[in-house]
Amino acid sequence: MSSWLEGLAIGWLIVVVLMTTLLVTVGIYFGVMRAAANERRGAAFRAVSPGMLPPMGLVFGLIVGFLVAGLWNDLSDARDAVNREASALRSTQLVVGASFPGAPARRMDALIRQHIQVAATREWPAMADQKATLTIVPGALAQALQLALTLKPNNDGQVTAQRELVSQLENALDARRQRIIVSRSSVNWVKWSAVIALALLTLLAIAFVHVDNRTTAALAMGVFAAAVAVTLVLIASQARPFSGQFGVGPDVLLQVEPRA
């Protein structure tokens, strides 16, 4: 259920969440008001203290805050990994072009170009669907590392350049591993259940507290339901670092792609 929700386009996500929240809120409202028609149940509802609403709202806000902070941290880690990979690949191009011009530089550029194209066209869709794994070895990047290790430096400058090439390619490999690991992060069903359960309990409490005034109950529940809908849209739209309109794309990698 959560995977289906997180995979929706932002427009449909807003519509689905708003409509679902509205229907649930209306159901709770009419269910409580109908139950309150019974004298014993109505008396029990009216006895609920309004003082329980602030703590429940605080708990809901704290859980949402911690959850959203974790999502933004994952998004930041994903962006940092992609930026680090692009920076390492760009540094590789500059070093090999300056220190090993000719055939080695052309071969290295071709391998980097191949790696970026595979990442953008194959790995990104897999990461968006959380299907990318570390078991698949990036062939072009592995060949680039092998090429750097087999270069034969002729002077101290080229020795230093070769060491730098190996270091930058290892950085690119590590950054790729990091972005794939981050792509597996998501909001699990326990977190979703906690947020939704707290929202439902708070809506029930609002209905109980304002059971004597239906208009006030409807207004209070409507305002809180709107806040819940905004929260759910925020969580669902940020749940996957490489998916959706706000996910991290391969644009930075494409910017450093060597020209053919």
Q: Could you report the per-residue pLDDT of 10-59, keeping only the tens digit for each?
A: 888 889 999 999 999 999 999 999 998 888 888 888 888 888 899 999 99
CB neighbour list of residue 168: distance below 8 Å, 6 or more residues apart: 88, 89, 91, 92, 95
Q: Are 91 and 172 in contact (CB under 8 A)?
A: no
Token pair 């053919």 in the structure block, residue: 260
What is the chain's mean pLDDT, rounded? 91
pLDDT the model gives residue 11: 85
pLDDT the model gives residue 247: 87
pLDDT the model gives residue 137: 84
Say yes or no to pLDDT of 71 above 70. Answer: yes
Say yes or no to pLDDT of 73 above 60. Answer: yes
Which band of pLDDT confidence, cut at 50, 70 and 90, is reported for residue 3? low
Q: Could you report the per-residue pLDDT of 78-115, keeping only the tens digit for each?
A: 999 999 999 999 999 999 999 999 999 999 999 999 99
Residue predicted with more confidence, 171 or 12: 171
Mean pLDDT along residues 154-166: 93
Say yes or no to pLDDT of 1 above 60. Answer: no
Say yes or no to pLDDT of 180 above 60. Answer: yes
pLDDT the model gives residue 136: 84
Q: Could you report the per-residue pLDDT of 14-23, keeping only the tens digit for each?
A: 899 999 999 9
Mean pLDDT along residues 234-240: 88
Q: Could you report the per-residue pLDDT of 188-231, keeping only the tens digit for each?
A: 889 999 999 999 999 999 999 999 899 999 999 999 999 999 99
